[in-house]
Chains A and B, each alone.
Chain A
Amino acid sequence: MRNRKATPYVLVLPAWIWLALFFVVPIGGMLSLSLTTGNVVSGFQQTFEVGNYVTAVSTYWEQILRSLFYGACATLVCIVVGYPMAYWIAFKAGPHKSTYLLLILLPFFVSFVLRTISWRFLLADNGVVLGPLKSIGLVPADLQLLNSAPAVILGLAYNFLPFMVLPIYAVLERMDSRLVEAAHDLYAGRFQAFVRVVLPVSLPGVFAGVLMTFIPTSADYVNASVLGGAHNTMIGNIIQSQYLVNNNYPIAASITFVLMGLLLVGIFSYARALGTERVMEVHT
């Protein structure tokens, strides 16, 4: 600590107060709630009932695993679609970079729910996409996309794509283009230069993108509600209905912590496996 002045601490104080008030306290309350028994009429007693967790996991393990799987698939789709986008904007878009970035962000100007509902029109059995394909016989006439797992995953990927594109773009944009020249000087072809230079440099961006898509997609419930079918319930839907429909706060809180724990374990082991000490490296 060379800088003994108090200024930085004063500056960071609002953030700490914010976090303490709106994160630590509620999380503490939630943890306490997850260890209660009772119902909304007679109240919830602090009985330190660990059985809530057992009930939550044993009842909803399927939805938990499904959510992580959908989240992972959506994240993968985001990488496959988003990386080339970010690459292109960073290196090939020339003077119009900011326009393209704005286009990436444009969907955010429309309500999340509305955007998701509009996918219904796209994916309907005889809708804009499937209708023509069916009429020319490219796909079987009874093919259904809406209310299926692919529809939910596509919806998730679409809704969170910008969170993948932006961090990757931020890293690539800062990359020193002379690195690529150096690679060419060392006889690397375009592919080799990409694999050995560009990709490694951009990995922190991908990593950040994965965090920013995997976490919210795994916990999302809007897409499953709007685009899912009879067997696509995600854990977010369960939490939502346990809280708001059943008022079963202890179980809802338990599931929340189980999900949070799984995500944290997943992220840290992911970071550890890649040998990084730092979980967030991107500064936009």
Chain B
Amino acid sequence: MKHPSRAQLNPALLRGLTRARRTGGPALPGLTRRRTLQAGGAAAAALALSACGVGGQQRDTADDADYWADKEETGSLRWANWPLYMDPDRTQIEQFTEATGVDVAYREDVQEAASFFGQIQPKLANGDDIGYDLITLPNGFEFSKLVELGYLVPLDHTQLPNFADYAGEIYKNSAYDPGNRYSVPYTSGVTGIAYNPDYIDREITSIADLWDPEFEGKVGMFADPQEIANFGLLFNGVNPADSTKEDWEAAAEKLKEQRDSGVVRAYYDQDFIQPLTNGDLWITMAWSGDIYQQNAEEGTNLRFVIPEEGATLWTDNLLIPFTSKAPVDALKLMDFLYEPEIATGLTEYISYIPPVPHAQEVMAEWAEAEDGTERGEALAEMVESPLVFPSDGDYQNLHNYVALETDQQDEFSSIFQAITQS
């Protein structure tokens, strides 16, 4: 239909638009000037009420030295963890309850660090219970913010003997939480490159392969500012942990070239496995454990590599919010998870890197004991896997994230979100 100018509008059309209805009336009844002013006045009043900004959200942590003095075991614990981070039977929790008598309400409520932070932050700012006594969060901006805001309880290491005995050295001196003041690792993983050999018939060895024009529209990158920044930085030969603002801008430039050349199909949060399996993606940034699980469970043949430029090691940590109703029970669970047998059982299911190196020996013993069974084979395979038990050489090639204060975080995020949110 040609677009008629106003003067030639079909009168019937206009009637249709303006005809009064028998039932009801206009949705904006009598919106006269006076009414509008009244409404404006009401809005202004509401505005006046709220025009006071938002106060600083920091908690005073001066008294935390005595935090543990009056805390006692309660016998029940609420834990917010990530999905698929323990077997469906919750074996380790069963064992924990058996050993200590503490009941655990286990919830897979953390789907994404940022939105989970957004959910708990207002409650913590008010000092309200967030519904969990223990939470699992990765080292990253949210973790730094929680520390900065004073929302985490400093751990009482006298109650964590297993951690002292069994935690790997690399997990005892992290850049993001020196001396494990607020956290102990739950499990770790590598962000590296995964590719599907059904579509790529060469060895992938380098981050530069993610820039290869041959893979036009078939490359996946992560949307998370830190994850993608790390790859841009490593591509430029910069160690992320020591990076400066100039480095970030140079890395962003490279990532922008990559995006604008059309090789990037999309920026993924965590749903890269399905596209990689069905050929929508050929090569992508990926987390080690997800690839291991997919190959083990679906029989796929996806490859995971730690590129020659290096990759990053991230850690999901156990934290106690200051509103926790069962901090002593939470500490007990933390320590329990560091018993080598327990850590091994956990690793068998989730196939990420345990912070307990000793788990490799235990797993080898289990594999031997179960020799000839399906489970024995799976265990034997896992013991050998560098994705689950990286060698010292692998660790040499793994870098930590850059740790930043809040104001730097904003700068950092906006530089890299300009790439992923265009």
Q: A residues touching B (Cβ–Cβ < 8 Å)?
A: 20, 24-25, 27-29, 31-33, 36, 38-47, 62-63, 120, 124-127, 142, 144, 146-147, 196-197, 199-204, 207, 225, 228-231, 233, 237-238, 241, 243-249, 273-281, 283
Given contacts A28-B49, A196-B10, A275-B9, contact A36 B421 (CB under 8 A): no
The 10 nearest A-B residue pairs measured at CB: A28-B46, A280-B27, A200-B16, A43-B56, A244-B118, A46-B53, A278-B26, A245-B114, A29-B50, A200-B12
- Residues 24-57 of B, flagged 1 when their CB comes within 8 A of A and 0 if not, give 1011100000000000001100110111111111
**Chain B residues in 8 Å Cβ range of A283:** 21, 23-24
Contact of A124 among B42, B57, B275 (CB under 8 A): B275
| Contact residues of B: prevailing secondary structure | helix
Given contacts A237-B421, A248-B410, contact A229 B265 (CB under 8 A): yes
Closest to B39 in A: A24
Q: Is the CB of A281 within 8 A of B12?
A: no
Closest to A249 in B: B54
**Chain A residues in 8 Å Cβ range of B9:** 274-275
Contact of B54 among A43, A124, A203 (CB under 8 A): A43
Given contacts A39-B410, A63-B421, contact A229 B266 (CB under 8 A): yes
Contact of B56 among A41, A196, A197, A277 (CB under 8 A): A41
Q: Is the CB of A46 within 8 A of B52?
A: yes
Given contacts A200-B10, A245-B413, contact A32 B50 (CB under 8 A): yes
Number of interface residues of B (CB under 8 A): 61
Closest to A274 in B: B17
Given contacts A63-B421, A201-B16, A275-B17, contact A42 B118 (CB under 8 A): no
**Chain A residues in 8 Å Cβ range of B10:** 196, 200
Closest to B44 in A: A28
**Chain A residues in 8 Å Cβ range of B26:** 277-281
**Chain A residues in 8 Å Cβ range of B47:** 28, 31-32
A-B contact pairs, 16 of them (CB 8 A): A25-B46, A41-B148, A41-B406, A42-B406, A203-B17, A225-B269, A229-B266, A230-B259, A230-B267, A231-B259, A244-B118, A247-B117, A247-B118, A248-B410, A275-B18, A281-B26
Q: How far is the CA of A245 from the CA of B145 in the complex (A)?
A: 11
Q: Is the CB of A230 within 8 A of B265?
A: yes
**Chain B residues in 8 Å Cβ range of A40:** 57, 121, 145, 149, 406
Q: Is the CB of B279 within 8 A of A126?
A: yes
**Chain B residues in 8 Å Cβ range of A201:** 16
B84 at interface by CB-CB < 8 Å: no
| Contact residues of A: prevailing secondary structure | mixed
**Chain A residues in 8 Å Cβ range of B28:** 278-280
**Chain A residues in 8 Å Cβ range of B414:** 246
B13 at interface by CB-CB < 8 Å: yes
Contact of A207 among B17, B42, B274 (CB under 8 A): B17
User: Shortest beta-carbon distance, A282 to chain B, in Å?
Assistant: 9
Contact of A44 among B16, B42, B53, B267 (CB under 8 A): B53
Closest to B12 in A: A200
Q: Is the CB of B46 within 8 A of A42?
A: no
**Chain A residues in 8 Å Cβ range of B279:** 124-126
Q: Is the CB of A247 within 8 A of B121?
A: yes
**Chain B residues in 8 Å Cβ range of A244:** 114-115, 117-118
Q: How far is the CA of A199 from the CA of B417 in the complex (A)?
A: 46
Contact of A36 among B46, B53, B149 (CB under 8 A): B53
Q: How far is the CA of A20 from the CA of B49 in the complex (A)?
A: 13
B376 at interface by CB-CB < 8 Å: no
Q: Is the CB of B16 within 8 A of A41?
A: no
Q: How far is the CA of A263 from the CA of B364 in the complex (A)?
A: 63
Q: Is the CB of A45 within 8 A of B53?
A: yes
**Chain A residues in 8 Å Cβ range of B357:** none
Q: Is the CB of A230 within 8 A of B18?
A: no
**Chain A residues in 8 Å Cβ range of B311:** none
Q: Which of B259-303 contact A (CB under 8 A)?
A: 259, 264-267, 269, 274-275, 278-280
Q: Is the CB of A147 within 8 A of B56?
A: no
Q: Which of B107-121 contact A (CB under 8 A)?
A: 114-115, 117-118, 121
B217 at interface by CB-CB < 8 Å: yes
Most buried by B among A142, A249, A275: A275
**Chain A residues in 8 Å Cβ range of B99:** none
Closest to A234 in B: B421
Q: How far is the CA of A213 from the CA of B99 in the complex (A)?
A: 57
Given contacts A25-B49, A230-B267, A278-B28, 17 further A-B contacts (CB under 8 A): A38-B54, A42-B56, A42-B58, A126-B278, A126-B279, A127-B278, A146-B275, A203-B16, A244-B115, A244-B117, A247-B117, A249-B54, A273-B6, A274-B9, A275-B9, A280-B27, A281-B26
Contact of A241 among B16, B53, B417 (CB under 8 A): B417
Q: Is the CB of B17 within 8 A of A125?
A: no
User: Shortest beta-carbon distance, A128 to chain B, in Å?
Assistant: 11
Q: Is the CB of A46 within 8 A of B51?
A: yes
User: Shortest beta-carbon distance, A183 to chain B, in Å?
Assistant: 10
Q: How far is the CA of A167 from the CA of B121 in the complex (A)?
A: 41
Given contacts A203-B13, A241-B421, A273-B6, contact A28 B50 (CB under 8 A): yes
Contact of B410 among A63, A197, A231, A246 (CB under 8 A): A246
Q: Is the CB of A243 within 8 A of B421?
A: no
User: Shortest beta-carbon distance, A142 to chain B, in Å?
Assistant: 8
Q: Is the CB of B406 within 8 A of A125?
A: no
Q: Is the CB of A43 within 8 A of B53?
A: yes
Q: How far is the CA of A225 from the CA of B271 in the complex (A)?
A: 11
Q: How far is the CA of A204 from the CA of B50 in the complex (A)?
A: 39
